[in-house]
A = this chain, B = another copy of it.
Amino acid sequence: MMLHPVGIVRSPIKTQAAAPKQGHEGGVDAWLEVDQSLIDALDGVSVGDEVIVITWLHEAKRDVLKVHPRDNRNAVLRGVFATRSQDRPNPLGLHPVTVKQIAGNRLLVGPIEAIDNTPVIDIKPVLRRFPA
């Protein structure tokens, strides 16, 4: 199962140290640059849409099974499937965002915490029944 990036995040947030843990905790607007060869796949995406961006958290560790939630060393260790830690066997990020602007193959979305150069794997519309 090989993932092919469909685009890349262009964000003013350059490092993990500067990134909030979640988009709603201080995320910013960032451009998603979608591969030109996939522009047809964006047909129907509109400004104002709520979408879920799936990213590949390229700086995550894949061999970590337990973490201190939210990097709080006083917190009890928890399995990564019970947390949103980026460290996990398959480091996929889920980012619920709003489409703010569209320019050809580029979408301005936010608020998003993914750092600059994070690979984009998928974009899906939010379903009305889908939880935030």
| Residues 42 to 96 of chain A near chain B (Cβ within 8 Å) | 42-45, 49-52, 54, 56, 62, 65-66, 77-84, 88-90, 92, 94, 96
Interface residues on A, range: 35 or more
How many identical subunits does the complex contain?
2
Closest to A76 in B: B44
Q: What is the chain B residue whose CB lies nearest that of A78?
A: B44
Inter-chain contacts of A132 with B (CB < 8 A): 126-127, 129
For the complex, what is the distance from the CA of A81 to the CA of B107, rounded to whole Å? 12
Q: How far is the CB of A97 from chain B (nearest CB, A)?
A: 10
Q: Is A3 an interface residue (CB 8 A)?
A: yes
> Which residues of A come within 8 Å of B, CB atoms?
1-6, 22, 24, 34, 38, 40-45, 49-52, 54, 56, 62, 65-66, 77-84, 88-90, 92, 94, 96, 119, 121-127, 129-132
